[in-house]
Amino acid sequence: MARLFAIIILLVLTSTSSMEAGEPKEPVNWCNEKLEWEMGVKFATERVSNGCKSCGKAVLPCLGVGYKILDDVKLSVAVDTIAALKEKYGRVAPCLGILYTVTDVFTIDTGYTRYFYTFASGDEQKYSNEIYGGIGVNIFLSPSLHAFYDFDNEDFSLKAKVMYEIDLGKRLMQGLGIEVSGDVGYETAKKSNGQWIEGEKRDFFFYGAGVDLAYTINKKAKAKVGGAWEGNSAKTHTWVNDVHRNFIWINASVECSF
């Protein structure tokens, strides 16, 4: 697993360093013009999702490929990975998705994700299956709304997100900008880590915000560094993996496509 992470990080850094900061080059299509590759790697001081903490310091590599079935329909296959640096926690999540561009403003996407928990042993949850669907709107704040359902944990969540980009190119440096994001959602589940929840109810709202300083190397590569905060309204926390409701962390990432 560690060898896989090292290979992905090396590919991302090599691809990014080979791109000039001037005029963007034509994308390298390994098969044809309908194929697109994406890769990236992120470091975070904590890994938090939906107001719940999975682990502390972690590296999160990702690799994906998209293929345009039609001019407005794209099929994608991606693998997102989490590797904790100090704790025995790891996750590999291959995902199959379809994105339909309805108009220049509206998009619809849906897909299936299989989660593998690499350090699970004994009766611990080793995998789970999830489907998702949602819409995105290409207007001010780029709002989106997605629903998720995990069959193994009978876990349903609904998440709304907005994002705003501030261009600092004219004030400071070309390619520099600030990305501000916010999200709010609701989650309810009958199980946690594959086990029935007894004596408490996993039924809560979550909310968060993030700010990233982003540097666009060109249209195909971007690097970010920033911080984020996320909280939840849960009354009990035995399944949150940390006994508090608010989490603050910093992260850095690099991503590219070709």
Q: Could you tell me the pTM of the whole model?
A: 0.83
Which range among 12-21, 63-72, 79-88, 183-192 shows the weakest confidence by mean pLDDT? 12-21
**Banded model confidence at residue 99, pLDDT cuts 50, 70, 90:** very high
- Give all domains of the chain, ordered by start, each with its CATH number: 2-21+33-257 (2.40.160.40)
- Is the pLDDT at 56 greater than 50, yes or no? yes
pLDDT (mean) for 16-40: 58
- Is the pLDDT at 13 greater than 50, yes or no? no
pLDDT in tens, 127-151: 999 999 999 999 999 999 999 999 9
- Dump the DSSP string for the chain: -HHHHHHHHHHHHHHHHTS-SSSPPPP--SS-TTEEEEEEEEEESSEEETTEEEESSEEEEEEEEEEEEETTEEEEEEEEEEEESSSS-EEEEEEEEEEEE-SSSEEEEEEEEEEEETT--TTS--EEEEEEEEEEE-STT--EEEEEEETTTTEEEEEEEEEEEEE-TTTT-TTEEEEEEEEEEEEEESEETTEE--SS-EEEEEEEEEEEEEEEEETTEEEEEEEEEEEE--S--TTTTSS-SEEEEEEEEEEEE-
pLDDT of residue 243: 54
- Is the pLDDT at 30 greater than 70, yes or no? no
pLDDT of residue 170: 84
Output the average pLDDT for the chain.
85
**Banded model confidence at residue 123, pLDDT cuts 50, 70, 90:** confident
